Structure 1
Amino acid sequence: MRYPAGVSGKPQPSGVARCMKGAALAASLFVAGPVIAMAQSPLQSDDLTPVRFADLAGWAKDDHQAALAAFLRFCGPDARAVDSKDLFRLNQEKKQILCAAAHEATDARIFFENHFEPFQIRQNGFVTGYFEPEVSASREKTGRFSVPLLQKPDGLVHVPEKEQPKGWPKHLSHGRLFEGTLNEMPDRAAIMDGALVDEALELVWLNPIDAYFIHVQGSARLKLTDGSTMRVGYAGKTGHPYSGIAKLLVQRGEGTPEDFTMSGLRHWLEENPDKRDALFKENRSYIFFREVTETGPDLGPIGAASLPLVPGRSLAIDDSSLPYGMPVFVSAGFEDPDAPDLSFQRLMLADDTGSAIKGHGRGDVFIGSGEAAGRIAGEIRHKAVFTVLVPKSAAASLKGRAD
């Protein structure tokens, strides 16, 4: 198949969520969640109901300064340019005005209330959690560490749906360009059976279960046997559709969704080593990784917006629905990790995404790094209400249409 002129092969943003996406990134990847309608276009006025800040339960008690700090990442030199004029997206001039106000703000709550209008998403919401694992690994293959994370092969390109050549499988988002010809990548089963073994793509070696979970989460901190550490992140994918293996187990009567939280799924995999690899192969999506060196050890992994994620403030969303940088107030029925007596009611920033994160009312909360964060993330599967904060420069006409 010839490589179409419209397919540029431009690199895609790296991020925790981008993986699943092959990204449910999160506990949603581990359980059979509710059916969520897929967003086919950006959020529109008919999807929204205007509300008041005073009517947002938990708004007054939130740590608005922490939310402002997360917002300011989009005003720094590392932020991706925001130049689209679509609904909710600001051109550079309006973004600069908003960012100047954010930098000068002395009261974070007043900043948000003075510069944004809240609109509740009408679609029923559902939220899950995700995290950055910390696991042991080896630079060399051993009996314990027998499964590699692979680096991105040469020629891997993104094939946008609108630019797919004639005859290209509609479900494939990526392909491999070789001598001007676009070819389908091998899927997980083929790669596990050695389809890429001759290309020496091995980055690091892990035990099979840890390796699979890192494919789901999209990034990890690795403690290597030689005493060093390494951070790995998403570099690309084969483009095949993602299938949640926990959902498959539920469908086959192996347990209930409640049985297959992250810890429950790991336990099943450990107890059924003879069935493990066959189950892995049913998720055709396969992720490639790179060593991440551009973010410090005290910062979160890099999200799809090309910025370090902030625990408790970063939200993976459907990026066909919401733009990166959009403040979203999330109200859900699980306990706030920092205030166990309170329900989760926080202003977050849309800065990551995932192929399993589909629909206007779907979100994935980044909890943090390590085992404790993983325990919390694995238990989050809750109904939620999402309220987007639209810059006032874009909200005036929108509010009139939504009333």
Structure 2
Amino acid sequence: MIRLAFAAAALLGLAACTPPAPKQVAELPGWAEDRLSEALPPFLAGCRPPALPAALCAEAAAIPPGDDAAARAFFERRFTLRPAGEGLMTGYYEPEIRGSDTPSAEYPVPLHTRPADLVEVDLGRFAPDLKGRRTAGLVRDGRLDPYPERAAIEADAGRPALLWLADPVDRFFLQIQGSGRIILPDGGIRRVGFDGQNGRPYVPIGRVLVQENEIPRDKVSMQSIRAWLEAAGPERARAVMEQNPSYVFFRPVAARPDQGPTGAQGVPLTPLRSIAVDRTEIPLGSPVWIVTHHPLTGAPLRRLVLAQDTGGAIRGPARADLFWGWGEQAAHAAGPMQEKAELFVLRLRD
């Protein structure tokens, strides 16, 4: 939930104290303090033609590990600055959830695989002004119809399942995050990743609960929403979750346990160095400088990150979602993150 904007009078009063907007990469606020060598591995993971020149990728690969000065000089020399504006920065993570290979009384909730009748459409192939926009549906009588909403999908007991979970709330939040680690009864781990969405719009249930006066606007977080769902009971919780018609399907993924899930760019996400963006506003693979605050400590959070993922709720030129990693510690920081942020896109010099 976007925090209340500053009053216009306060903005006018601060105008005289506002520092000039940076025009060069080296002028970015906090630029000199970031460990820029840490941004090189995720940058190199997605650095490949035709998106970026091979010579540029080779130059970045030649920088010695841990050499912040060389990394700083590389980005200053090779990139120019495009301010993206001010917006909202939220956080996401890779959850760890109890599950099983087989259904049982303890694990009754199916984690659905991608259905064979789901058709995804890249709208930009049909209209240039829709570049980057996608939808999905199913074909009936030679026409593409909307795919069923969440409630209808969950009511269809015949749909194939990849795994079985203990709690429908776990499944709901796993769909929001888009990937996860399923902990089996024997201690084994199954990684699952995004494999399609039903094309329906994403409706944040935090907004629904605010409108219904269930949670105060300034108390909305992943943790507060989850607590409400668990306290509400199965029927009320399901009714609220069904107000989000969007539904995500999953596939098994082979990934090292020390790596994050694979994002929309096709590379593993790096904690605190990968963000999800609106790909119609910021091209995937772009280095992006973020100026925001830590959601728990309030300390300035200014660092170079890579646009390596997308999300159903990420829309707009300065809207981003910061990847925090996996497990409870990452969830603790990602859940409450609702911070005002300023974004600067680093563009390759001509």
Instruction: Report the TM-score range of the alignment, normalised by the length of the smaller protein.
Output: 0.7 to 0.9
Matches within 5 A, 1:1-16: none
TM-aligned CA deviation for residue 233 of structure 1: 0.7
Does residue 1:334 correspond to 2:291, yes or no?
A: no
Tell me the alpha carbon deviations over residues 143-194 of structure 1, each in whole angstroms, 9 at most, x when there is no partner.
Answer: 33221110001132212335689xxxxx981012478654432110111222
Does residue 1:152 correspond to 2:114, yes or no?
A: yes
- Letter in structure 2 aligned against 1:53: V
Counterpart position of 1:284: 245
Counterpart position of 2:37: 65
Tell me the alpha carbon deviations over residues 58-110 of structure 1, each in whole angstroms, 9 at most, x when there is no partner.
Answer: 111101100112211123xxx6x535xxxxxx5xxxx1121121112341111
Does residue 1:97 correspond to 2:55, yes or no?
A: yes
Counterpart position of 1:347: 304
- Letter in structure 2 aligned against 1:120: P
Q: Residue 203 of structure 1 contacts residue 290 of structure 1 at CA under 8 Å; is this kept in 2?
A: no
TM-aligned CA deviation for residue 237 of structure 1: 1.2
**Quick one: distance in 2 between partners of 1:281 and 1:34?**
28
TM-aligned CA deviation for residue 138 of structure 1: 1.5
Q: Residue 223 of structure 1 contacts residue 229 of structure 1 at CA under 8 Å; is this kept in 2?
A: yes
TM-score (structure 2 length as normaliser): 0.86
Unaligned runs of 5+ in 2: 6-20, 65-69, 128-132
**Quick one: distance in 2 between partners of 1:257 and 1:64?**
36
Tell me the alpha carbon deviations over residues 307-360 of structure 1, each in whole angstroms, 9 at most, x when there is no partner.
Answer: 00000000111001111111000010226x8xx684100000000011211111
Tell me the alpha carbon deviations over residues 184-217 of structure 1, each in whole angstroms, 9 at most, x when there is no partner.
Answer: 32110111222xx224344333311111110111
The structure-2 alpha-carbon separation of the partners of 1:248 and 1:32, relative to structure 1 and needing over 3 Å to count, comes to farther
TM-aligned CA deviation for residue 236 of structure 1: 0.8
**Quick one: distance in 2 between partners of 1:328 and 1:234?**
24
Q: What root-mean-square deviation, in Å, do the aligned CA atoms of Structure 1 and Structure 2 show? A: 2.4
TM-aligned CA deviation for residue 34 of structure 1: 7.4
Question: Bigger CA drift: 171-180 or 344-353?
Answer: 171-180
Counterpart position of 1:52: 24
Structure ranking higher on relative contact order (CA contacts 8 Å, 6+ apart):
1
Does residue 1:379 correspond to 2:347, yes or no?
A: no
- Letter in structure 2 aligned against 1:99: C
TM-score (structure 1 length as normaliser): 0.75
Does residue 1:142 correspond to 2:100, yes or no?
A: no
- Letter in structure 2 aligned against 1:105: I
2:89 to 116, 127, 132: 127
Does residue 1:186 correspond to 2:148, yes or no?
A: yes
